[in-house]
Structures are given as C-alpha cells and as structure tokens.
A and B are shown apart, each in its own frame.
Chain A
Amino acid sequence: EMQLVESGGGLVRPGGSLRLSCAASGFTFSSYSMNWVRQAPGKGLEWVAYITSSSSATYYADSVKGRLTISRDNAQNSLYLQMNSLRDEDTAVYYCARSTGPLDFWGQGTLVTVSS
C-alpha cells in the first residue's frame, strides 16, 4: 500500500525555522518527482515547491523563494522542506504529493502554525 506520511509540524515564532519530513513507502520513491503543497486555514490549495527524482532541479512559488528549501534522500525514501524566516502567512497544513505531471498521490498533511 502506498503511503506518504508528513511530520515535523508545530508552533513556531515569526522569524523561526522548522523542518518538515515526508516518509514514503509502497512505491519506488527514487523514480518520482515530489512536491510540497500547502493550505492555509479555510483557504484553497497553494503549490509550494517541486524536486525532480534525482534532485537535479527544484522549483518554488515566488511566495517562498529564498526562505523554503525542498530536498530529498532517496536512500531514506524521504522528502524534506526546510522552512526559514517563517511568517504569519506561512501558517498552513503542508502536504507532500507525488508527481507524474499531475499530483497523483498525497499525504495527509502536517500543520504549521506561525504565531507569537
């Protein structure tokens, strides 16, 4: 059974840092590009970042460029999102999602709350 399980969310002060993880199982993680997508409370979906299967390329939404960094460890079947200089507007549920063009499989998400 395919699974994506996010972890690492929590409460953080504005300006602080957090590292999210996404553990993959049930498929060949190293063969797929991956994404982070977020959803602020009561709002719609916002694509955040993308990484190719070999980490050869990454892309970011303008709203997070320079502050959030996507990475992966294929040996550990894991995806990461390093979040620095966090702002109130980064408060959201963060989902990891597999890419085959469209986002064909999603985790259940982890909540990040940025508040003083």
Chain B
Amino acid sequence: EIVMTQSPATLSVSPGERATLSCRASQSVSSNLGWYQQKPGQAPRLLIYGASTRATDIPARFSGSGSGTEFTLTISSLQSEDFAFYYCQHYSSWPRTFGQGTKVEIK
C-alpha cells in the first residue's frame, strides 16, 4: 500500500497571502495524483488531477506541481472561500489512498 503523507497538518494564512501544501508518496505514483478541497458539511471537490491540471471551473489561483513522490498544491492569493481542508490522493495502484489532510485556517 502506498502511504500518502501531507504537511503541515494545519496552515495558518492571512487572506491574500500564498499557501503552499505538500504531499509525499511512499513510492512513486508518477503523475497519478489528485488534490481535493472539502469545506465543513460538504462533499469533497476535485481541484487538481494529473498532479498539475486544474479541474473544471477551478480558479487559476490554484496550481499543482510535482511528480513521482513529491507534490505541491499552491494557492497564490487566499480568498475567504479557500479556508478549508485539502486532501491529496493517488490513483496509481490499489488501494487508492488519501493523505491525512491539511487544514488551511485564517491567521
């Protein structure tokens, strides 16, 4: 099983600032990596797939990078609606596994 490790667990950021979230895989997943956003009481939403491609209707302030075992989600200028939980998940092999999540909170 591939273990996905996200850091930090909590990120405190002021509105308008940049946020950088990390996700590490215990073995290579190539570019088979997605990022999801989840707000309290809501279902997750796909933000990024293929490690760097924005999903439909996702604003350009969200960007993803990386391949192999190291991945980054960057939010260039945080808006109020971006304060939420973020999860990475690989889809390289079975079982699919998620990281434990990063909470982005208002500083």
Residues of chain A having any CB pair with chain B under 8 Å: 35, 37, 44-47, 50, 59-62, 95, 99-109
Contact = CB atoms under 8 A, between A and B. Distances in A.
A100 B44 CA distance: 15
29 contacts: A35-B96, A44-B87, A44-B99, A44-B101, A45-B36, A45-B44, A45-B87, A45-B89, A45-B101, A46-B98, A47-B95, A47-B97, A50-B94, A50-B96, A62-B1, A95-B43, A100-B49, A102-B46, A102-B49, A102-B50, A102-B89, A102-B91, A103-B36, A103-B44, A103-B89, A104-B49, A106-B45, A107-B43, A109-B43
Interface residues of B, number: 25
Nearest to A100: B49
B55 interface: yes
Interface of A is mostly: strand
B43 A104 contact: no
A102 B43 contact: no
Interface string B25-46: 0000000101010100011111
